């Protein structure tokens, strides 16, 4: 800040009296005024360089420019970018951090796609992708998420939720864990005890190979063919560090199904299922302090919400948003019994629970009869079969099924014979005797999509700390000055570009407090 004689808005009478002083701002020559008025800006730049120099001498941690996940149907997915790719440059500009990737897509203007250079297992590949505006983020995005490291979360907000994720993954199963410390298995049903003693865990090896990132779990799962994955972890428990072995059961991937919900023109929702069949929604965990503690329980499967029977995931979320700040009547399947509850919906349209797909039950939500990819609309194999929500799939191609893993497996095995028609037997809700035999008729494209489904890790990337990269000057002050100048210059340019993109509408005003402002 530069205070100029005769220009003090806080004391106008004093400023007016000082204007006759030959030293006042008004009395100074124009060139001198320019020097004075630029003093504050120049000092900001100098201090920016200085602070960046100090930071780079110490070293700055940032998310690495490595892809952890690619959103289905996104520009990046269409361009062929895959998890594990390291983004080296965007339109010729090097990307040192994942933030550079976000900014590169957010600041793009025009209809020409970005030129993206990626390193894939040592091979340099150039792809083209045009970012798309994402209203929820207020930015143009490519549909990429950053990669994860090898350390599980330790922050206060995540640890209580991590407990249920580890329970589901079998970390407290005595038959699958070796070397566990005293008191570990007893925490399976005691979240408070787990939170008290949890100090973090680091993934050390996957199937006998050293782990370098959580992406290795995903790679191992995709290649395992359904077999268990052998892992070792350094577990910080209480005051000690113990190495434990955990055999992880992979999760069967389901087919991404893009469809038009009908309630919103031009909108496209995403569900996971098989051939248009979709699992019911279930409560995975009740968040600590939730208003629904004691009302909903982990494992509750949603049979009906309001007047909607067997709502799909997006339908369920949409229904909750319409009942924000009130209650919603639910019928849930709990320990084999149909139970009625009135769940409380907060002001943001949430139940304060974690939800997911009820893949352990062979029951279906409302079937999806058509998919939409861009302007292309395609009917699914279940179109016109008359299947209703909450029905139970009993067999596929003559094979009895007990969950969605066996449903998917039976469909894949039938398709592997060259068949494009798969017989399913479905028991309708409310009766043990009312069964329907129906043929799923698949196109070659639909069959190929299902046949390509593999397996995923039971510990998702969201539970790992991000893969970080250290940006530093290696103790060289001159290099730190150069890096500080470069970073300050980049921020100055980004400020002007942000203003330009605000005018063009490719950056939302709310992002002035986000990654671009």
Q: What local confidence, expressed as pLDDT, does residue 136 receive?
A: 62
- pLDDT above 70 covers what percent of the chain? 86
How far is residue 414 CA from its own chain's centroid?
Answer: 33
Question: Strands 399-400, 392-396: parallel, antiparallel or unpaired by DSSP?
Answer: antiparallel
User: pLDDT digits over 30-78, tens only?
Assistant: 888 787 778 777 887 788 778 777 777 777 777 889 998 888 889 999 9
Do 70 and 33 belong together in one domain?
no
Q: Positive or negative, the Cα torsion across 249, 250, 255, 257?
A: positive
Do 240 and 190 belong together in one domain?
yes
Question: Strands 337-344, 327-334: parallel, antiparallel or unpaired by DSSP?
Answer: antiparallel
Nearest alpha-carbon partner for 212 in 84, 97, 335: 84
What angle do helix axes 444-451 and 404-416 make, rounded to 10 degrees? Answer: 130
The residues, any chain, with a CB within 8 Å of residue 144's CB and separated by 6 or more, are 67, 68, 69, 70, 71, 74, 76, 81, 87, 101
Q: Which residue, of 247, 281, 296, is where some domain finishes?
A: 247
Do 128 and 191 belong together in one domain?
no
The three-class DSSP label of residue 60 is: strand
The three-class DSSP label of residue 136 is: coil
Do 42 and 93 belong together in one domain?
no
The mean pLDDT value for 249-253 works out to 95
Phi, psi of 20 (to 5 degrees): -80, -10
The whole-angstrom separation of Cα 156 and Cα 163 is: 12
The mean pLDDT value for 424-430 works out to 91
How far is residue 401 CA from its own chain's centroid?
Answer: 31
Do 23 and 51 belong together in one domain?
yes
Q: In which residue are the tokens 């003559």 written? A: 398
CB 465 within 8 A of CB 70: no
User: pLDDT digits over 118-127, tens only?
Assistant: 999 889 999 9
Do 167 and 142 belong together in one domain?
no
Nearest alpha-carbon partner for 53 in 472, 470, 468, 469: 472
Residue 27 lies in a domain: yes
Do 85 and 124 belong together in one domain?
yes
Cα 325-326-331 angle, rounded to 5 deg: 130
Of 36-50, 209-223, 226-240, least confident by mean pLDDT is 36-50
pLDDT band at 510 (very low <50, low <70, confident <90, very high): very low
Q: Does the pLDDT value for residue 480 go beyond 80?
A: no
pLDDT band at 441 (very low <50, low <70, confident <90, very high): very high
Cα 253-254-258 angle, rounded to 5 deg: 135
Do 30 and 82 belong together in one domain?
no
Q: What local confidence, expressed as pLDDT, does residue 515 receive?
A: 38
Q: Does the pLDDT value for residue 146 go beyond 70?
A: yes
Q: What local confidence, expressed as pLDDT, does residue 432 receive?
A: 65
Q: What local confidence, expressed as pLDDT, does residue 442 receive?
A: 94
Q: What local confidence, expressed as pLDDT, does residue 512 receive?
A: 46
Do 163 and 212 belong together in one domain?
yes
Burial class (CB in 10 A: 0-12, 13-18, 19+), 322: exposed
Residue 342 lies in a domain: no
Q: Which residue, of 59, 78, 95, is where some domain finishes?
A: 59
Q: Kindly state the tokens that stand for 508.
A: 């939302």
Other Cβ atoms less than 10 A from the Cβ of 26: the count is 14
Residue 379 lies in a domain: no
Say which residue, 260 or 242, is predicted with more confidence: 242
Q: What local confidence, expressed as pLDDT, does residue 145 receive?
A: 87
Other Cβ atoms less than 10 A from the Cβ of 273: the count is 23
Average pLDDT, the chain: 85
Residue-number span of the structural domain to which 32 is assigned: 12-59
The mean pLDDT value for 164-178 works out to 93
The mean pLDDT value for 330-344 works out to 95
Q: What local confidence, expressed as pLDDT, does residue 63 receive?
A: 84
Q: What local confidence, expressed as pLDDT, does residue 505 receive?
A: 57
Q: What local confidence, expressed as pLDDT, does residue 501 receive?
A: 56
The mean pLDDT value for 333-340 works out to 94
pLDDT band at 514 (very low <50, low <70, confident <90, very high): very low
Q: Does the pLDDT value for residue 347 go beyond 50?
A: yes
Cα 474-97-140 angle, rounded to 5 deg: 160
- pLDDT above 90 covers what percent of the chain? 53
Residue 291 lies in a domain: no
Cα 163-98-148 angle, rounded to 5 deg: 25
How far from each other are the two terminal CA atoms of the chain, in whole angstroms?
20
Q: Does the pLDDT value for residue 273 go beyond 60?
A: yes
Q: Does the pLDDT value for residue 304 go beyond 70?
A: yes
Q: What local confidence, expressed as pLDDT, does residue 261 receive?
A: 59
Q: What local confidence, expressed as pLDDT, does residue 439 receive?
A: 95
CATH number at residue 502: 2.30.42.10
pLDDT band at 141 (very low <50, low <70, confident <90, very high): confident
The whole-angstrom separation of Cα 242 and Cα 259 is: 47
The mean pLDDT value for 162-191 works out to 92
Q: Does the pLDDT value for residue 175 go beyond 80?
A: yes
Q: Kindly state the tokens that stand for 463.
A: 């539970």
Of 61-75, 79-93, 119-133, 163-177, least confident by mean pLDDT is 61-75
Do 111 and 40 belong together in one domain?
no
Nearest alpha-carbon partner for 285 in 198, 156, 196, 158: 158
The mean pLDDT value for 130-143 works out to 79
Residue 307 lies in a domain: no
CB 185 within 8 A of CB 174: yes
Residue 68 lies in a domain: yes
| DSSP 8-class letter at 188 | G
Do 16 and 91 belong together in one domain?
no
Q: Which residue, of 214, 247, 280, is where some domain finishes?
A: 247
The whole-angstrom separation of Cα 274 and Cα 285 is: 25
pLDDT band at 20 (very low <50, low <70, confident <90, very high): low
Do 165 and 222 belong together in one domain?
yes
DSSP string, 274-316: BTTB-BPEEEEEEPTT-TTBTTB-TT-EEEEETTEES--HHHH
The residues, any chain, with a CB within 8 Å of residue 218's CB and separated by 6 or more, are 83, 456, 457, 461
Say which residue, 28 or 408, is predicted with more confidence: 408
Q: What local confidence, expressed as pLDDT, does residue 69 receive?
A: 83
Residue 174 lies in a domain: yes
Say which residue, 268 or 109, is predicted with more confidence: 109
CB 459 within 8 A of CB 169: yes
| Number of domains composing the chain | 3
Residue 501 lies in a domain: yes
Of 30-39, 136-145, 233-242, 256-265, least confident by mean pLDDT is 256-265
Q: What local confidence, expressed as pLDDT, does residue 516 receive?
A: 37
Nearest alpha-carbon partner for 203 in 255, 175, 159, 166: 166
pLDDT band at 498 (very low <50, low <70, confident <90, very high): low
CB 138 within 8 A of CB 510: yes
């Amino acid at each position: 800040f530069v205070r100029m004689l005769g220009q003090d808005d806080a004391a106008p009478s004093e400023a007016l009296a000082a204007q006759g002083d030959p030293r006042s701002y008004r009395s100074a020559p124009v060139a001198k005024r320019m020097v004075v008025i630029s003093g504050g800006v120049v000092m900001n730049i100098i201090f920016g360089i200085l602070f960046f120099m100090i930071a780079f001498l110490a070293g700055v941690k940032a998310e690495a420019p490595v892809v952890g996940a690619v959103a289905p149907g996104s520009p990046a997915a269409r361009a062929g970018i895959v998890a594990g790719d390291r983004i080296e440059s965007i339109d010729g500009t090097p990307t040192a951090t994942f933030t550079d990737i976000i900014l590169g897509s957010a600041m793009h203007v025009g209809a020409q796609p970005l030129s993206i250079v990626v390193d894939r297992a040592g091979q340099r590949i150039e792809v083209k992708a045009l970012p798309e505006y994402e209203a929820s983020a207020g930015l143009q995005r490519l549909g990429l998420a950053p990669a994860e490291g090898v350390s599980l979360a330790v922050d206060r907000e995540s640890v209580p939720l991590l407990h249920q994720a580890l329970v589901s993954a079998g970390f407290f199963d005595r038959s699958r864990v070796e070397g566990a410390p005293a008191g570990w298995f007893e925490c399976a049903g005691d979240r408070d005890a787990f939170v008290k003693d949890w100090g973090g865990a680091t993934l050390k090896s996957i199937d006998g190979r050293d782990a370098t990132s959580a992406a290795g779990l995903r790679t191992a799962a995709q290649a395992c063919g359904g077999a268990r994955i052998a892992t070792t972890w350094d577990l910080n428990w209480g005051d000690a560090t113990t190495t434990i072995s955990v055999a992880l059961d992979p999760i069967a991937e389901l087919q991404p199904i893009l469809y038009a919900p009908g309630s919103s023109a031009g909108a496209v929702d995403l569900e996971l299922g098989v051939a248009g069949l979709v699992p019911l929604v279930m409560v995975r965990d009740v968040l600590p302090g939730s208003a629904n503690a004691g009302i909903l329980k982990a494992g509750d499967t949603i049979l009906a919400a309001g007047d909607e029977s067997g709502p799909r995931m997006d339908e369920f979320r949409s229904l909750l948003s319409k009942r924000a700040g009130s209650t919603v009547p639910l019928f849930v399947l709990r320990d084999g019994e149909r139970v009625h509850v009135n769940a409380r919906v907060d002001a943001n349209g949430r139940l304060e629970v974690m939800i997911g797909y009820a893949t352990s039950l062979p029951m279906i939500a409302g079937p999806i009869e058509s998919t939409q990819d861009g302007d292309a609309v395609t009917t699914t194999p279940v179109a016109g079969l008359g299947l209703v929500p909450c029905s139970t799939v009993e067999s596929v191609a003559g094979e009895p099924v007990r969950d969605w893993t066996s449903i998917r497996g039976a469909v894949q095995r039938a398709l592997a014979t060259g068949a494009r028609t798969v017989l399913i037997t479905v028991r309708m809700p409310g009766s043990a005797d009312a069964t329907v035999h129906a043929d799923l008729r698949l196109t070659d494209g639909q069959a190929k999509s299902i046949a390509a489904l593999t397996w995923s890790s039971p510990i998702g990337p969201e539970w790992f700390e991000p893969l970080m990269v250290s940006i530093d000057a290696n103790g060289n002050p001159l290099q730190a000055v150069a890096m500080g100048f470069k970073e300050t210059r980049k921020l100055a340019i980004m400020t002007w570009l942000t203003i330009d993109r605000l005018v063009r509408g490719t950056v939302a005003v709310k992002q002035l407090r986000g990654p671009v402002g």
